[in-house]
Structure 1
Amino acid sequence: MYFKSTFFEDYQLNDKRITLGRTITETDFVVHAGHTGDFFPHHMDEEWCRTQPFGQRIAHGTMIFSIGIGLTASEINPEAFSKGYDRMRFVKPVHIGDTIHSEVTISDKGDSKHPTMGTVTEHVEIINQKGEVVLVCNHLLLVKKKS
């Protein structure tokens, strides 16, 4: 389903959107480990984790990135293309039972090498149920100009 087109000129600095939440489950841990091959005990061994200072399993950072960014994919903009993500940081651990949501703020706009396009940077914060930022990154977009 396509929603209203958003051209480069339509993006306004500091505009913000907030996603719905998603609770992280043990199934998420198992599926992500299977997809990536990352079966490190920090993610998979509950008994070993109890002997560590963090005391419980920690979600894969790449899983939280994938789920958090997936939450932002509620609207399709046929005028924009993702160029990737920059400056990603895993700020705080996420555990089974935590609920995350994403907040996306337009943080920068600029020219592009392509005269019919502009660049837009969305600053993404993934936040847990306590209001703590657990992951941050910048989403880089190439967006078509109206004229």
Structure 2
Amino acid sequence: MVADLKYADIQVGDSASFSKTLAEADVYNFAGISGDFNPIHMDEEFAKTTRFGKRIAHGMVTASFISTLVGMYMPGRNALYLSQEMKFVKPVFIGDTLTATATVLEKIEEKRILVLETVIKNQEEQVVLAGKARVMKMEG
């Protein structure tokens, strides 16, 4: 269900989260869409020879969870994603359960913009992605 928060009701400190377990199909589907078939993502034998010892998910698969946060949870309906700063902190593996959280850091009233802290953690509570987003909330 898509959140339908009103800009006036959103306060600094408000947050929203969702979780998803990353499936092998997610990695294959992203490769098909993006054209990124790097063997670190796609070839188990090659990935075994890397310092990770197994395939890692595309960083942008993980980053796409921020888009889900913006469009579905915080602020949800009628949000326009303006920008994202991010750092990939740790690799994400197929089978990891990721929890993405957006927390309101600032409201810019005259432009109806929210500045969000964006964090994604794995099932071990380790941060795998951290950043800051700017989002415009456009009412219906």
TM-score, normalised with respect to structure 1: 0.80
Superposition RMSD on alpha carbons, in Å? 2.3
Equivalent in the alignment of 2:64: 66
In structure 1, what is the equivalent of residue 28 of structure 2? 30
**Structure 1 pair 55/119, CA: closer, same or farther in 2 (3 Å)?**
same
Q: Is the 8 Å Cα contact of residues 6 and 77 (structure 1) preserved in structure 2?
A: no
Match of 1:18 in 2: 17
The verdict on how the C-alpha distance between 1:3 and 1:25 changes in structure 2, with shifts beyond 3 A counting, is: closer
Tell me which amino acid in the other structure corresponds to 2:95.
G
With the length of structure 2 as denominator, give the TM-score of the two structures. 0.84
In the TM superposition, structure 1's runs of 4+ consecutive aligned residues that sit over 6 Å from their partners are none
1:141 is aligned to 135
Aligned residues: 137
Amino acid at match of 2:136: L
Which one has the bigger helix percentage? 2
Stretches of structure 1 lacking an aligned partner (at least 5 in a row): none
Name the SS of the counterpart of 1:49 in structure 2.
helix
Contact 2:2 2:72 in 1 (8 A): no
Structure 1 residue 5, shift from structure 2 partner? 4.2
Listed as ranges, the gaps of 5+ residues in structure 2 are none
Larger Rg: 1
Report sequence identity in percent.
34
